[in-house]
A and B are shown apart, each in its own frame.
Chain A
Amino acid sequence: MTILKETRGGITRRSILKASAALAGAGVVTKVTGFPAIAQEPVTLRYLSTAVNQSPAIAAKAGEDLGINIEYIAVTTDDVAKRVITQPNSFDLVDTEYFALPKLLPSGNIMGLDASKITLSDKIASVIRNGTVDGKKVGLDGTAPTEVLYLPSEEATEFAGEETGFLTLIPTTYNADTLGIRPDLIDGEVSSWASLLDPKFKGKAATLNIPSIGIMDAAMAIEARGDMTYGDKGNMTREEIDKTIAVLIEAKRNGQFRAFWTDFNESVNLMASGEVVIQSMWSPAVTAVRTQGIECKYQPLKEGYRAWASGFGLPVAIGEREKDAAYEFINWFLSGWAGAHLAKQGYYTAVLETTKEAMEPYEWAYWFEGKAAEKDIMSPDGKLLEKAGAIRDGGSYDERMGAVACWNAVMDENIYMIRKWNEFIAA
């Protein structure tokens, strides 16, 4: 870590001077682009994101292929946004969720990515670009990526209404979230979000203590139960927030919930230990439970999924050399290997074509086409995920992403919502 940091300071300059005395004059100016490659130490990109998105294998492979050092900074979902706003100089590349953009962009700390420098920008999945899967519109409640993808210019602080040449984030991973269940500990079928609040699972249900996501899962459950319908679950009115929290408080007082979680590892432990049999869950958490040899199903539900998408953004304060490296890294990221690596953990990737090329046909068939696995399915680190014959929960990419009902969001009434959420926790 120290060594990596030193490359940013005086040491670089000195070693450059030493390495190429003839260019000593130029060496005083740091971050010169097109500087002879031999004289340069590898550029380091400080990559800010949540721990789930950070794979040591990707960093190693990028170092091998591009000669770029990836220095991961792992924080929680909320902390990514906090850090972009409060410490915009502390990273060179951020992998953050689209739903954070309405907060991040007005701060002026992140800048648009020039689509013309992204080789595969027109190949980015349609669900991100225009909210369609296989030509059909998906649910766009909440902060749908397509609504916050384009910028009028590189340094804009407001979104463009239409398609432009500048993108806020280049997608890294996205997925459709649903409830995770322990089929071995549950009698009967679970087919609706309403089950989250079903007294049948009293004391054995859990939900997230991340207010912006937790309240949407609650809304899915409440709407499924038929109690009320929402105008936009991702952007509730005060009245809708009040009603939702009231239902949650009632459920909590009746002992519906065993626990709440904020860190994805907590959800893994709750599920694996059998403390909880039904809960809001993230796809890699389900995978993590299964790799422990414990049955866990990512149950598709008739009301559809709550989707999320995450992507690369650049800080305004980025240096020239780092900026070039970041573009190079993003292009490499979209080119296949990294996508396939992530897809084997259950994520969907930005450019499906390159991901397909980089995967074995039987893997692609299992993860994206909803077909039964021809061979055993392994995780990227070689652990057995599924035996041959298994079918992915929810089926194919088109079935899962096509059934998206809403997207993770930041509401206009966010401040009010958080106050009410704290009330729920205190109840």
Chain B
Amino acid sequence: MDAPARAGASTAEKSISSGARKRRTSWTPMWVAYLQAAPLALVFLLFFILPLLATFVVSFWNYTEYSIEPAFVLSNYQDVFYGCFSGSSGLCTTFATYLSTLKFVAIVWATTLFIGFTVAYFLAFHIRTLPMQIALFMVCTIPFWTSNVIRMISWIPLLGRNGLVNETLQSIGIVDAPIEWLLYSDFAVALALVHLYTLFMVVPIFNSMMRIDRALIEAAYDAGASGWQTLTNVIIPLVKPGILIGSIFVVTIVTGDYLTIGIMGGQQIASVGKTIQTQINFLQFPIAAANAIVLLAVVLLTIWGMLRLVDIRKEL
């Protein structure tokens, strides 16, 4: 087909679509679109919606040590919140567990945001050439070539009582006795979580920064804004969607994490996931299901709250 003919064809198409069939943008029948979406929808239905429904239903069932029985009882939820509303002085197990999780969420979110933002800023604004940006970005992903369990466990020989850090500190005389809180502590958990999940902050923030029109920064500079003012008035408002997406990743992952908390905390720190695992191991599926539903509700509420802060759809 030669050029004029192609142009003619497209004009013809345009005139048709702008005429009577204004709403139709394609000649493909409607059902094709549904068909195209069907495989993913089916996968979601089978492997996400149905198990979730099953979990929800089972959370109202009864159980013994070796069986679960269909029923509609609220006792599992009562067990989850056992002692929470009795007015006693101490926190109940569930609230204490969520509080501990919340603490890690806050620490890890703030730290990964700071590190992630800094790294992304450096990559986006200080590296001039695209190939170099891509190369350095790939460098950031190298740790992900190994499993996150390995990355986590590799901290143990470093932080242990007779680990590298302690031995070094002792040999140069900074401390006399090994520092105990390096491993199997809140510090170790927070460190490992930050190490594991910072990239989830870097990627979306970097992506948002790359979309910023460089002319805006020049305009700010021309208008006499300082570097700090440009950062707070131009860049941060424009990368909000990236920050939000990264935050959703980090917050939801840390809320559900039990492996890192288990391994780095020496299993001494509670997490909702670990509680669920213990209950499943002892075949208490209904109460584990109830716990899972509560966890899901907490995570959904958190995401809902975060989405109220920034309108992602508008910004993207």
A225 within 8 A of B: no
Tell me, rounded to whole Å, the shortest Cβ–Cβ distance linking A242 to chain B.
12
User: B282 and A414: CB pair below 8 A?
Assistant: yes
Whole-angstrom CA separation of A102 from B66 in the bound complex: 9
CA distance A257 to B268 in the complex (A): 8
Chain B residues whose C-beta falls within 8 Å of the C-beta of A209 in the assembled complex: 267
A253-297 vs B, CB cutoff 8 Å, 1 = contact: the mask equals 000011111100000010001110000000000000000000000
The segment from B92-100, B110-118, B214-222 that touches chain A is: B92-100
Given known A107-B67, A260-B267, contact A419–B79 (CB-CB < 8 A):
yes
Verify if A21 is at the interface (C-beta below 8 Å from B): no
Whether, in the assembled complex, B175 has its beta carbon less than 8 Å from a beta carbon of chain A, the answer is: no
Also in contact, A275 and B183, with CB within 8 A (given A258-B266, A419-B93): yes
**Interface residue tally for chain A (C-beta within 8 Å):** 38
Within 8 A of A (CB), among B84-98: 93, 96-97
Rounded to whole Å, the gap between the CB of A110 and the closest CB of chain B is 11
* In the complex, chain B residues whose CB is within 8 Å of the CB of A414: 65, 282
**Which of A211, A260, A419, A426 is most buried by chain B, counting CB atoms within 10 A of its CB?**
A426
Name the distance in Å between B107's Cβ and chain A's nearest Cβ.
18
Interface residues of B in 142-163 (CB under 8 A from A): 156-157, 160-162
Query: Of A79, A261, A410, which contacts B65 at CB under 8 A?
Result: A410
B contact face: mostly helix, strand, loop, or mixed: loop
| A191 close to chain B: CB less than 8 A | no
Quick check: A82 and B281 within 8 Å, CB to CB? yes
Judge whether A389 is part of the interface by a CB distance below 8 angstroms: no
Query: Does A81 reach chain B (CB closer than 8 Å)?
Result: yes
Whole-angstrom CA separation of A275 from B97 in the bound complex: 26
| Interface flag for A164 (CB, 8 Å) | no
Give the interface size class of chain B. Answer: 20 to 34
The reply to whether the CB of A425 lies closer than 8 angstroms to some CB of chain B is: yes
Asked whether B180 is an interface residue with its Cβ less than 8 Å from the other chain, the reply is yes
Nearest-CB distance from A200 to chain B (Å)?
16
A419 close to B160 (CB less than 8 A): no
- Residues from chain A with a CB closer than 8 A to the CB of B65 are 102-103, 106, 410, 414-415
Within 8 A of B (CB), among A43-74: none
Interface bits A401-427 vs B (CB < 8 Å: 1, else 0): 000000000100011001101110111
Give the residue name and chain of the B residue nearest to A208 (CB): B267
Q: Is the CB of B282 within 8 A of A418?
A: yes
Point out the residues of chain B lying under 8 angstroms from A206, CB to CB: 266
Complex CA distance for A76 and B266, rounded to whole angstroms: 18
When the two chains form the complex, which single residue of B64, B183, B270, B279 contacts A425, counting CB atoms closer than 8 Å?
B270
Provided the pairs A107-B67, A211-B282, A275-B184 are in contact, do residues A426 and B270 lie with their beta carbons within 8 angstroms? yes
Contact of A252 among B268, B275, B282 (CB under 8 A): B268
User: Does A203 belong to the interface (CB within 8 Å)?
Assistant: yes
Contacts of A275 in B (CB 8 A): 160-161, 183-184
Q: Compute how far the CA of A103 lies from the CA of B180 in the bound complex, rounded to whole angstroms.
A: 41
A170 to B259, CA, bound (A): 36
Interchain CB contact (< 8 A) of B266 among A103, A260, A274, A419: A260
Which B residues touch A427, using CB under 8 A? Answer: 96
Q: Are A422 and B278 CB-contacts (below 8 A) given A85-B66, A102-B65, A275-B160? A: yes
Are A425 and B268 in contact (CB-based, < 8 A)? yes
A176 beta carbon closer than 8 Å to chain B: no
Q: Is A104 part of the binding interface, using a Cβ–Cβ cutoff of 8 Å?
A: yes
A78 near B: Cβ within 8 Å? Answer: yes
B282 contacts which chain A residues (CB < 8 A)? 78, 211, 414-415, 418
On whether the beta carbons of A81 and B267 are closer than 8 Å, the reply is no
* A262 CA to B274 CA, complexed, in Å: 12
Q: Which of A79, A81, A103, A418 contacts B278 (CB 8 A)?
A: A418
Interface members, chain B 39-74 (any A CB < 8 Å): 64-67
Q: Which of A183-242 contact B (CB under 8 A)?
A: 203, 206, 209, 211
In the bound complex, residues from chain B placing their C-beta under 8 Å from that of A421 are 278
What is the CB-to-nearest-CB distance from B51 to chain A, in angstroms, rounded to a whole number? 15
* Interface assignment of B280: CB less than 8 Å from any CB of chain A: yes
CB neighbours (8 Å) of B100 from chain A are 426
Contact with A along B256-290 (1 / 0, CB 8 A): 00000000001110100011001111111000000
A102 to B274, CA, bound (A): 25
Q: How far is the CB of B277 from chain A (nearest CB, A)?
A: 9
| Shortest Cβ distance from A418 into B: residue | B282
CB–CB B93/A103 < 8 A: no
B266 near A81: Cβ-Cβ < 8 Å: no
Q: Are A211 and B266 in contact, with the CB atoms below 8 A?
A: no
B304 in the interface (beta carbon within 8 A): no
Complex CA–CA separation, A414 to B279 (angstroms):
11
Which residues of B (167-208) have their CB < 8 Å from a CB of A? 180, 183-184
Q: A381-415 interface mask toward B, CB cutoff 8 Å, 1 = contact, 0 = none?
A: 00000000000000000000000000000100011
Q: Which residue of B lies closest to A270 (CB)?
A: B266
B82 at the interface (CB under 8 A from A): yes
B240, chain A: closest CB distance, angstroms: 36
Q: Tell me which residues across on chain B come within 8 A of A426, comparing CB atoms.
A: 93, 96-97, 100, 270, 275
Residues of chain B with a CB closer than 8 A to A259's CB: 184, 266-268
**CB within 8 Å of A: which residues of B?**
64-67, 79, 82, 93, 96-97, 100, 156-157, 160-162, 180, 183-184, 266-268, 270, 274-275, 278-284
Query: Could you list 19 examples of A-B contacts with CB < 8 Å?
Result: A79-B281, A82-B280, A102-B65, A106-B64, A106-B66, A203-B180, A206-B266, A252-B268, A261-B267, A273-B162, A275-B160, A415-B284, A418-B278, A418-B282, A418-B284, A422-B275, A423-B93, A425-B267, A426-B275
* Pairs of residues from A and B, 10 with the lowest C-beta to C-beta distance, nearest first: A259-B266, A426-B270, A78-B281, A260-B267, A107-B66, A423-B93, A103-B65, A209-B267, A426-B96, A426-B93
Beyond A275-B161, A426-B93, 8 extra complex contacts between A and B, CB < 8 Å: A76-B281, A78-B282, A85-B67, A107-B66, A203-B180, A260-B268, A422-B93, A426-B275
Residues of A at under 8 Å CB distance from B?
A: 76, 78-79, 81-82, 85-86, 102-104, 106-107, 203, 206, 209, 211, 252, 257-262, 269, 273-275, 410, 414-415, 418-419, 421-423, 425-427
